[in-house]
Chain A
Amino acid sequence: MNKVFLALVLFLMGFVSTSFAQHNITVDIEIDTTKWAPVAYLSLIPDFNNMNTISYGQIIEQSEISKEGLCEFSTGYLPEEEHLYRVHFSKKGDSPASLIIGGKDHNHFFLFAARNSEVSVTVNRGNGFINDLKFEGYSLNKALWIINASLEALDSIGQNGNIVNREYAIESVNEEIKTYADTCSLPLLSLYALYNINYSEDYDNNPAFYRRYLHKWRSQKSSYFREFRSSIRAEIKPARIISIIGGSVILIIIVAMAIYYKREKKNNKNPISRLTIQERKVLDLLKQGKSNKEIAEECSVSVSTIKSHVNSIYSKLDVRSRKEIMDIEYQTTWNKSDFPSSTL
């Protein structure tokens, strides 16, 4: 009985220690306390467009840096899904919300974490304050380090090197990062790589790649992918609307031109078709050699009405006399029953 009780107690102790174990982001950094405040700040970066944005609202935790250069952020309260975080440091006397991008005082780095993930970062100082990072634990960050190394190379090409070859070098590194994004099996990391090569400019050159990419990661629901999808749609929409409107206009013009030419062709072939039904009947009677008066009597209308029709016929058929009308050959294409005399 005692053994069973002891086993139960040990099991409970193990369960409790596992459940309530502290999971942290641990940062090991050597700082010059005469220049930098011994505090580190953790910010949640909700989308990749905001990596270079600073606000108080982004900072979710701060941690004192010990004399040994260690600081910790608990990951127990972080969102369950993977997110991008930024750890930054401020100079003494500066606002806690201060970000330095580039130069020797570049004061921040990024990492991925999720609830209860264990991340360990060692910051190595070189020429700058944050020169090189070594990640342990959460595997996503090791891959992040690889991408960042390529991005640093890209930045370095931008700053140095031969002006003639610079564009070519940037293009080839961009292509390398894009290939990584295309083949990477980790969706968030893949997207991170894509954002860092300025995809909005690349989209114009290769929209098919981005359509394929969206399809590949269609099941991803994170805020990062939602933001990416909406920005890509914003790129696609105007292009699609313009192509639809343009296509429709061209189609309408083609159809209108086809109808016009067809009608013109038909008119040229048979000038009689330009005449109204009444005019055709008058023409028929004219060809029989009847006078205006006879035609008026036959059609039960006034002579002046017939004169008006005759003038119109002359004009439409481009003739000047009854003799010329007699010379016109045409096929009668109507039946008398179609045109009752009352129509005249």
Chain B
Amino acid sequence: MTDNEVFLLFVMTLLSQNPKFTVMKKLIRNAALPVMMLMAVSVTSSGQEYIKLERSKTLHLDNNSEKTEMPIKVTVEYNYLRVKIQGQIHKGDILIELIDPDGEVQRDFKIEAGSAAAEGIDLGDKGYVASEIEKSYREPERGNWTVRIRAENATGQVRIYSLQIYNPRTNLIELEQIEKDTDEHIG
């Protein structure tokens, strides 16, 4: 398989995630998916390449007090999911939850910067409180995963990174290599 074919497949997969491209979605599901699987086998058997879908989004908070939900759609095309959520705030509190398609909270964390100010603690030049969670799943549950952010007078930012990989063989050694490769991407 050529690089162009891999790129085309990647673009098609990206488009299939967009609800506006319903025709493309149907095409991917009904016709292109078997082709993609075949192509993926040839890619992974080489041990060099794999099909991946990366997404990154940053939410800026400016004294916000609201609940924000960000979906991560896991479709049948992918059998590996890695999610990393980083929060960094100067003021207020935030609670961040990673919720699976069944509605179960898989990971959560809370950052409280409000209490520092209330207790008269000088945050100095490192004037923020930070936390991050990371979780990866092999054969993740299909459906809509959600990152829920509840902010309370919070100022700062939250960065959400998700990576989905298609690797039909679920070969542990290959996946470990993929994880290592993507470590640099997600920072």
Contact = CB atoms under 8 A, between A and B. Distances in A.
B132 A55 contact: no
B73 interface: no
Contacts of A100: 131-134
A94 B125 CA distance: 10
Interface string A162-183: 1100100000000000000000
Contacts of B137: 158-159
Nearest to B133: A101
Contact of B116 (A50, A55, A166, A201): A55
Interface stretch (B2-10, B33-41, B43-51, B107-115): B107-115
Residue with the greatest number of chain A CB neighbours at <10 A, chosen from B119, B121, B132, B141: B132
Describe B's contact surface by its main secondary structure. Answer: strand
A101 B138 contact: no
* A-side interface size class: 20 to 34
A166 B137 CA distance: 11
Contact of A56 (B84, B110, B116, B132): B116
Could you tell me the dominant secondary structure of chain A's interface residues?
A: mixed
Interface residues of B, number: 33
Contact of A54 (B110, B138, B139, B141): B110
A54 B109 contact: yes
Contacts of B112: 53-55, 57
A101 B138 CA distance: 19
B130 A102 contact: no
Contacts of A55: 111-113, 115-116, 129
Contact of B130 (A98, A104, A201): A98
A46 interface: no
A97 B106 CA distance: 23
7 contacts: A54-B109, A56-B115, A57-B119, A100-B131, A100-B133, A161-B138, A162-B139
Given A53-B110, A54-B131, A159-B136, 11 more contacts: A56-B121, A57-B119, A57-B121, A95-B123, A100-B131, A101-B107, A102-B134, A104-B183, A161-B139, A163-B139, A166-B139
